[in-house]
Amino acid sequence: MTQLPPLNGLRAFDAAGRHLNFRAAADEMGVTQGAVAQQVRQLEAQLGVPLFDRLPKGLAFTSTGRGYHARVATVFEELRAATETLRPEPDKVLVSVTPTFAAKWLIPNLPDFSALHPNADLAVFATERVSSFYGDGIDLAIRQGKPPFGAALEVVRLFRQKVIAVAAPSLVAEHRLPLDLETLSHLPKLHDAHDLWPAFLKQFKVENRGGHGLRLSQTALAMDAALSGQGAALVSSFLVRRDIAEKRLVQIHPEALSGEQDFYLLAERSQKRRSSVQAAFDWFASKAEADA
């Protein structure tokens, strides 16, 4: 029997071929970029043919590499499908989201998902770290970023990045809304890791005269501080829609700050996606469309 190439080399080739990028393949596999590149080089040496053309910004298949990858990818997909049948919780769907998205959008909307899909078990993995579909075993991911995300992923934009200024009604009770720029300038500001206040005020050519303000690591914490009246926060509008509707927060200035990093739903492209994963994917897309 013809000797098979090493499994690690085939795994590296499969991942690199789906992303057409060694770095993205390394992130997926939880190894270094150099390790993936070396595994692929060793595979090419053993096969005696080049599988990729190395480009300044990624990879391109050779004609031989494209045909070989199609068959290798099919084999790995079959292995994953066979393994999937052994899982004791076939309806479990693991979704990776940021802590802010989990706390301020997903959890408040989970009753709607549960009512529509009572047999699906949606498990939320809240982390700022970019999770791996393979290394972390996630089924879906929601991340803020911008295309391209790689040919191996199915991508749906959920929300555009539209950042608005909000505060508790008690903080601005003595002022008429919307606030004039002078009042906005002197209002205490809440800063998260994105630190968008300088860019927000710059578009009006206004300086911040509200002091240093409270600095927090997550947008969810800035929102909580705003709810308690500690200052004004800059937040993506879809995250505060419920708080504004229920008058816990008010938009204090009519202008919004648009960014390049929108919110996207990501899933692996697959012909054999589990029904529970597909149901969750479709729910996220439809729920976001309804909210927007």
Confidence of residue 1 (pLDDT cuts 50, 70, 90): very low
Q: State percent of the chain over pLDDT 90.
A: 72
Q: Same topology for domains 92-158+261-291 and 162-257, yes or no?
A: yes
Q: Which CATH architecture has domain 92-158+261-291?
A: 3-Layer(aba) Sandwich (3.40)
Q: Does domain 7-84 have CATH number 1.10.10.10?
A: yes
**260 or 125: which leads in pLDDT:** 125
Name, in order, each residue with C-beta under 8 angstroms of 132's C-beta and a sequence gap of 6 or more.
27, 28, 29, 30, 138
By the 10 Å C-beta count (0-12 exposed, 13-18 middle, 19+ buried), 150 is classed as middle
Name, in order, each residue with C-beta under 8 angstroms of 199's C-beta and a sequence gap of 6 or more.
257
Over 90: is that where the pLDDT of 14 sits?
yes
pLDDT of residue 2: 62
> Mean pLDDT throughout 276-288?
95
Nearest CA among 261, 265, 286 for reference residue 162: 261
Over 90: is that where the pLDDT of 92 sits?
no
H helices, E strands: number in the chain: 11, 13
Nearest CA among 184, 229, 220, 176 for reference residue 202: 184
Angle at 238 between CA 236 and CA 241, to 5 degrees: 115
pLDDT of residue 149: 82
> Mean pLDDT throughout 43-56?
94
Over 60: is that where the pLDDT of 164 sits?
yes
pLDDT of residue 128: 84
pLDDT in tens, 186-213: 999 999 999 999 999 999 999 999 888 8
**153 or 230: which leads in pLDDT:** 230
pLDDT in tens, 99-154: 999 999 999 999 999 999 988 889 999 988 877 777 778 999 999 988 888 778 89
pLDDT of residue 87: 61
Over 70: is that where the pLDDT of 84 sits?
no
pLDDT of residue 271: 65
pLDDT of residue 152: 84
CA 114 to chain centroid, in Å, comes to 22
For the chain, the domains span: 7-84, 92-158+261-291, 162-257
Q: State percent of the chain over pLDDT 70.
A: 97
Q: How many residues are given for the chain?
A: 292
Q: What CATH number should be reported for the domain whose range is 162-257?
A: 3.40.190.290
Over 60: is that where the pLDDT of 75 sits?
yes
**119 or 65: which leads in pLDDT:** 65
